Amino acid sequence: MKITHLVFLFMFTSVFTTIAQTPPTPPIPSNSSYSGNRHTDVTTTISNSTSISNSDDSYDFTAKFQKSKRNEIQNLLKEKLKGYKLKVQGSNYVWSKESNGSLVFECTLRKKTMKIFLYKNEVSQYSYKKIKALGNDLQKLITKHSRSRNGFNGMEYARENVRRAKRELERAEERLRMIQRNNNQ
């Protein structure tokens, strides 16, 4: 009877310890770029912002935008700023107007930024309203989102998903190599 109890006790403890034991998760080295299941949404890589300052004597408009919006912005500016002096320096466009030898208007368009300055005391009410309306149009254009997610059109969104999937695949492959190295040691 003692042998039966011992056999039963031995079987019970061996089954219990087998169930309780789970293989340890291999540690991830601190120099690894592992990020788990966290994803950074696309909107964090895209920055569109506008700022308008409209004081008693000046009107200022500044903006940062996606590179993909530049052509649309450039076309709008070319259309609305006909008659203003245009100077093109590489990819930078500068529209300006002088009055009595002083600069009263300047619009600078760069790759992903732009700035408009208007000195209101030196221009007509019509010119001021025209530039203010342009600023409102630019603000709508820069901050608008297409009907697809996160302001991307369908093609851009698909490309970003492919880039994200490639990064995740690279991380998964690196994790697999680390696990295989740890198992071979």
DSSP state of 145: -
With 80 as the cut, is the pLDDT of residue 55 above it? yes
143: pLDDT confidence band, cut at 50, 70 and 90? confident
Average pLDDT value for the chain: 78
Residue whose C-alpha is closest to residue 111's, from 95, 93, 96, 88: 93
Work out the average pLDDT over 23-48.
Answer: 44
Of 37-51, 107-121, 123-137, minimum mean pLDDT range: 37-51
- What pTM, to 2 d.p., does this model score? 0.54
- Per-residue model confidence (pLDDT) at position 29: 45
Rounded-to-integer distance, Cα 54 and Cα 120, Å: 9
Estimate the crossing angle of helix 70-80 against helix 125-143, to 10 degrees: 160
160: pLDDT confidence band, cut at 50, 70 and 90? confident
Query: CB neighbours of 80 closer than 8 A, spacing ≥ 6?
Result: 130, 134, 137
- Per-residue model confidence (pLDDT) at position 46: 58
Identify the CATH number of the domain defined by range 45-144.
3.30.310
Opening angle at CA 27, ends 25 and 31, nearest 5:
150
